[in-house]
Structure 1
Amino acid sequence: MSDLFGAAGLEQDAPHPLADRLRPKALSEVVGQDHLLAKGAPLRRMLDAGRLSSSILWGPPGTGKTTIARLLAEDAKLEFEQISAIFSGVADLRKVFERAKARRQAGKGTLLFVDEIHRFNKAQQDSFLPHVESGVITLIGATTENPSFELNAALLSRAQVFTLNRLDDEALELLLKRAEEAEGRKLPLTEEARELMRSMADGDGRFMLNLAEEIFAEPEDRKPIEPKELAVIIQRRAPVYDKSDESHYNLASALQKSIRGSDVDAALYWAARMLVSGEDPRFVLRRLIVVASEDIGNADPQALPLAIAAKEAYEFLGQPEGEIAIGQLVTYLATAPKSNRAYVAFHNAKAVAKETGSLMPPMHAVNAPTKLMKELGYHKGYEYDHDAEGSFAGLNYFPDGMARQKFYEPTQFGFDKEIAKRLEYWDKKRREKSGS
């Protein structure tokens, strides 16, 4: 029926959701994924070189995986085929492969986009291999799960994995401005409610645009919505939990934020909600391992080893005893001291590393295994820290000519406090060494 509407030119006049109307028409319009799509970035380089290879797009919901796949097909001049691993089976795959073979004989290539590809079983995943290898299809798979856990090694070896980022605050605000431009009016929100809306979206652009569409349905002359009223609207439209769709990320977000906020009872509730609803405990454990590193970090260095141990305990015990380890882990993480300073420090270090490019390490920081390298000054000036007073020689290991950076600033909580003392001592000795 939709084909008949399309042929008659009526489909474009039918009502479309706001998120669909704002779907980017070119890769340059995709927000939040410049690390993949900007000039010189991996996907852009492949397109510019005219060799789009099979790939896996890994990222959370609402980050543009489907849109990127469709636009890649357009730029590469490939026929776009889309299937969902949730609704498709072997018969559907066979039909897609036959159509792709027919197109190839006519000199036309096919980009096959498989949404939720991790939901295909091993045999179904293996069925892609001969068609990828022969070039009948260029496979673009989308997954919200870690490909290392969910996809066959054989398939992974034939595809590049690209990680999509959750949309940051700047990207979400850009989407809101596009929505307001499309509607021809501002959203009736106070600045505080607008900020809360971006925060509640948790990096999901589609969720935010769907919510914006509901807010646009409010009377135009109404007073601006305050944060408390917005929270009621968000709760009203939150979907019923279903582990087979994207809504499980809402509960996962609530679990992480409860732990981050040291609300142990709420954290236990959200973990229990996920498990009694049929969520895969491995998904919960992966999220808890992230929390142990991101939100607790060096305030309690035992958090990450305990999270790994809980995963191993679950794998060893199975159901239902394995869930005991999950409960213990949730209570430990929620009551542990919190520090995201290591997470933030590494994020900032990566940003500076991108800016500074390929600066050489200082000569004392590199080895000199050959005579020529010694003559060129490699390894010159190096001091072996273990032989120095206090096992600290005080050398600077940033590139020559680059000012020292301060990425890591521990909190005064938990073990972070002890690390801060060490850093302060080392900084003092380093300054004495340099005479500054």
Structure 2
Amino acid sequence: MVDLFGPDAPPDRRPEADDPGRPLADRLRPRSLDDVIGQQHLLGPGGTLRRMIAAGRLGSLILWGPPGTGKTTVARLLADAVGYRFEQISAVFSGVADLKKTFEAARTARRAGATTLLFVDEIHRFNRAQQDSFLPVMEDGTLVLVGATTENPSFELNAALMSRAQVLRFQSLDAENLEALVTRAEAVMGHPVPLTPEARQMLIGFADGDGRALLGLVEEVSSAAAPGETLDEAGLMDVVQRRAPIYDKAQDGHYNLISALHKTIRGSDPDAALYYFARMIVAGEDPLYLARRLIRMAVEDIGLADPHALPQAVAARDAYEMLGSPEGELALAQAVVYLASAPKSNAVYTAMKAAMQVAKASGSPLPPMAILNAPTKLMKGEGYGAGYIYDHDTPEGFSGQEYFPEALGRQNFYAPVERGFEREIKKRLDYFARLRTRRGDQ
């Protein structure tokens, strides 16, 4: 039996873990799952991981969540909790040869009666072939795989690997969790963080839900403040540079925020829409990308309920291209508010999808002869253009003739809603339908 606090213990378990020369995040590394801050949906009573531990057996897992939420620590503590041998590799620094050595060591340990928990940090960095190499050793029980990723596993991991592992979502630490972490850090350091209450809250905000980043900021502030000095918000800003928000324009953060922006505009909430728009601008998103998305929203979610929505979105794009940043961003913000406040209709969007479906399924039936041009005598003799009624010659400016191919029959795709300008369009179309019926009865 290994003494967890003796000379053979892991480095983070030895008494020198309290050495003030070590990084604060390392000194505060939890020694049991009960010490982990946050992730109560997994580690609290009845949580998924608590149930696994109670059963005495772990299955393969994918731990998905933002940086600094405890994925590595939890993996190590899980191995301790069920008595598994812990092995850790990083997909950034490991190749096929490293994987083969790790698998062989796990086989040797298994023959000796030990189960290996292999923790793979940033598992999404492995390519498809490398991910596939885990499948045989997972299936034959050579090891239990616990992978950690900050990226959406649905996009980054093979379906075969996903089918053999349970995905557990780690959440960003909330303000209460981060405050508890600061309090714990103060106990270890033996002194409070030299900040006013307002600056303390600002520091917690800077961490952006990342516990490891927060402890780094606490160390930075504690070492920068003069003896007896208490920093206010301005003093804190002088000491630390604000962390960039968690956002990768090619990955999950990007898609989460553009989805939130689109849905808040569709949901007619201009305040929430401005917030997500600002989040993306602050994070460095290309304003022209946002302009293109606003144009899409104008036609997809507003359409003819407000015919001015599309010109507003296009004008905002043009204004940004003329003014640049930051002035042009105000034009985009104006479009965000306009679109969010506008009446909503997806009637044109729905009609287009329905028309496309019929067009793909119906083949190539000939339009009615009456609406075909007859540029030659032969075509005129064949009946091209015969019976066409010039709408402007009718009293209502509407002939009511049939334009769909005879083989297809009349179709109804566009159903305007009773909102905004489409209410007027609906009245007009209902009027045309009555005239069409009247002409058909004649």
TM-score higher than 0.5: yes
Residue in 2 that maps onto 1:410: none
Residue in 2 that maps onto 1:204: 210
Q: Which of the numbers 172, 179, 199 marks the counterpart of 1:173?
A: 179
Q: What is the Cα deviation at residue 39 of structure 1?
A: 1.6
Deviation per CA, 1:159-203: give whole Å up to 9, x if none: 000001100010000000000000111111000000111111110
1:292 aligns with 2:261: yes
Q: Which of the numbers 144, 147, 151 marks the counterpart of 1:145?
A: 151
Partner Cα separation in structure 2 for residue 204 and residue 284 of structure 1? 15
Q: Check whether the contact 1:125–1:155 (CA below 8 A) recurs between aligned residues.
A: yes
Task: Give the direction of change, closer, same or farther, for the CA distance of 1:290–1:181 in structure 2 (3 Å limit).
Answer: farther
Task: Give the direction of change, closer, same or farther, for the CA distance of 1:181–1:24 in structure 2 (3 Å limit).
Answer: same
State the structure with more CA Rg: 2
1:192 aligns with 2:198: yes
Q: Check whether the contact 2:220–2:240 (CA below 8 A) recurs between aligned residues.
A: no
Q: What is the Cα deviation at residue 155 of structure 1?
A: 0.3
Residue in 2 that maps onto 1:226: 232
Partner Cα separation in structure 1 for residue 15 and residue 197 of structure 2? 39
Residue in 1 that maps onto 2:336: 336
Task: Give the direction of change, closer, same or farther, for the CA distance of 1:221–1:30 in structure 2 (3 Å limit).
Answer: same
1:94 aligns with 2:122: no
Partner Cα separation in structure 2 for residue 182 and residue 10 of structure 1? 13
1:290-369 to structure 2, matched below 5 A, reads: 290-292=259-261, 298-299=267-268, 325=289, 328-329=292-293, 335-337=335-337
- Normalised by the length of structure 1, the TM-score is 0.59
Q: Which of the numbers 39, 43, 47 marks the counterpart of 1:37?
A: 43
1:231-250 to structure 2, matched below 5 A, reads: 231-235=237-241, 250=244
Q: What is the Cα deviation at residue 329 of structure 1?
A: 3.1
Partner Cα separation in structure 1 for residue 333 and residue 58 of structure 2? 43
Partner Cα separation in structure 1 for residue 192 and residue 62 of structure 2? 37
Secondary structure of the residue that 1:139 maps to in structure 2?
A: strand
Q: Check whether the contact 2:64–2:169 (CA below 8 A) recurs between aligned residues.
A: yes
Identity of aligned residues (%): 51
Task: Give the direction of change, closer, same or farther, for the CA distance of 1:83–1:326 in structure 2 (3 Å limit).
Answer: farther
Segments of 5+ residues of structure 1 without an aligned counterpart are: 239-249, 254-278, 308-321, 341-414, 416-436
Secondary structure of the residue that 1:213 maps to in structure 2?
A: helix
Q: Which of the numbers 74, 78, 84 marks the counterpart of 2:80?
A: 74
1:110 aligns with 2:116: yes
Q: Check whether the contact 1:131–1:137 (CA below 8 A) recurs between aligned residues.
A: yes
Residue in 2 that maps onto 1:424: none
Q: Check whether the contact 1:300–1:336 (CA below 8 A) recurs between aligned residues.
A: no
Q: What is the Cα deviation at residue 299 of structure 1?
A: 2.4
Partner Cα separation in structure 1 for residue 235 and residue 20 of structure 2? 31
Deviation per CA, 1:355-374: give whole Å up to 9, x if none: xxxxxxxxxxxxxxxxxxxx
Q: Check whether the contact 1:56–1:140 (CA below 8 A) recurs between aligned residues.
A: yes
- Normalised by the length of structure 2, the TM-score is 0.58
Task: Give the direction of change, closer, same or farther, for the CA distance of 1:235–1:334 in structure 2 (3 Å limit).
Answer: farther
Partner Cα separation in structure 2 for residue 212 and residue 288 of structure 1? 29
Deviation per CA, 1:134-170: give whole Å up to 9, x if none: 1111100000001001100000000000001100010
Task: Give the direction of change, closer, same or farther, for the CA distance of 1:174–1:10 in structure 2 (3 Å limit).
Answer: closer
Residue in 2 that maps onto 1:403: none
Amino acid at match of 1:159: A
Partner Cα separation in structure 2 for residue 294 and residue 176 of structure 1? 36
1:49-68 to structure 2, matched below 5 A, reads: 49-68=55-74
RMSD: 3.3
Task: Give the direction of change, closer, same or farther, for the CA distance of 1:57–1:284 in structure 2 (3 Å limit).
Answer: closer
Task: Give the direction of change, closer, same or farther, for the CA distance of 1:291–1:335 in structure 2 (3 Å limit).
Answer: farther
Partner Cα separation in structure 1 for residue 219 and residue 144 of structure 2? 35
Q: Check whether the contact 1:63–1:205 (CA below 8 A) recurs between aligned residues.
A: yes
Task: Give the direction of change, closer, same or farther, for the CA distance of 1:334–1:54 in structure 2 (3 Å limit).
Answer: farther
Secondary structure of the residue that 1:214 maps to in structure 2?
A: helix
Q: What is the Cα deviation at residue 217 of structure 1?
A: 1.1
Segments of 5+ residues of structure 2 without an aligned counterpart are: 1-7, 277-285, 295-328, 341-418, 420-442
Residue in 2 that maps onto 1:273: none
Amino acid at match of 1:163: R
Partner Cα separation in structure 2 for residue 120 and residue 70 of structure 1? 21
How many equivalent residue pairs? Answer: 282
